[in-house]
Amino acid sequence: MTAERPAKPKPTKSPKVTKSAEPAAHPSPEPAAFETAVRESFARQGLMRQLGAWLDVVEAGRVVIEVPYSERLSNQHAGFHGAVAGALGDTAGGYAALSLMPAGSEVATVEYKINFLKPAAGRSLRAEARILRHGRSLSVGQIDLTVMGEDGSSEPVALVQATYMRIAPVT
């Protein structure tokens, strides 16, 4: 004879909660506040000042920085040196990440990788950064570097993928 199993009592269920594929939103500063914070921080960047770079666009999760061509920034082929592309891309990505962080945050680069597509010869070099994934402490961005021609044309010259970390303000 086999004993029958007693029926399992049905647990009481709370209302079903579905998890979104999107992460929970993190508090971000007010639009005017994050733009002011990015612009003030950029103004303190000695390297960007030395390069002659300027902020063109500052939006939540998106920053564009441009630098005019100068022989001081050139490589031996009379185009932009790769280090200029790296610095411009890294800076744009960092500020795009900072624009999504709570007020008073600072940002540091964890790592970045750059793929050069072609020599960067033109009137100016432009870095457009977009944050692809923003978390509580880390943000991942993609930065497209394009060279702007004298005729207003633009050509992609490099791609950067980078990770940025939120840090406590440096005093």
> Is 89 part of a structural domain of the chain?
yes
Q: Is residue 44 part of a domain?
A: yes
Report yes or no on 102 lying in a domain.
Answer: yes
Count how many domains the chain has: 1
Q: Is residue 103 in a domain? A: yes
Q: State the pLDDT at residue 169.
A: 79
List, for residues 6-17, the tens digit of each pLDDT value: 555 444 444 343
Task: Please give the distance of CA 25 from its chain centroid, rounded to a whole number.
Answer: 17
What is the residue range of 56's domain? 31-167
> What local confidence, expressed as pLDDT, does residue 6 receive?
52
**CATH at residue 89:** 3.10.129.10
CB atoms within 10 A of CB 119: 14
* Residue 4 lies inside a defined structural domain of this protein: no
In this structure, is residue 10 part of a structural domain? no
Sheet strands side by side (includes 154-167): 54-59, 62-68, 124-134, 138-148, 154-167, 106-116
Residue 143 located in a structural domain: yes
| 12 conformational bin, left if phi > 0, alpha if psi -120 to 50, beta if neither | beta
pLDDT value at residue 137: 94
pLDDT 10s per residue in the chain (171 long)?
555 555 554 444 443 433 333 433 445 555 578 999 999 999 999 999 999 999 999 999 999 999 999 999 999 999 999 999 999 999 999 999 999 999 899 999 999 999 999 999 999 999 999 999 999 999 999 999 999 999 999 999 999 999 999 998 776
Task: Evaluate whether residue 38 is within a structural domain.
Answer: yes
Contacts 24+ apart (CB under 8 A), 141-144: 141/93, 141/96, 141/97, 142/93, 143/89, 143/90, 143/92, 143/93
How confident is the model at residue 7, as a pLDDT?
A: 55
3-state secondary structure the chain: CCCCCCCCCCCCCCCCCCCCCCCCCCCCCCHHHHHHHHHHHHHCCHHHHHHCCEEEEEECCEEEEEEECCHHHECCCCCECHHHHHHHHHHHHHHHHHCCCCCCCEEEEEEEEEEECCCCCCCEEEEEEEEEEECCCEEEEEEEEEEECCCCCEEEEEEEEEEEEEECCCC
Tell me, what's the pLDDT at 108?
A: 96
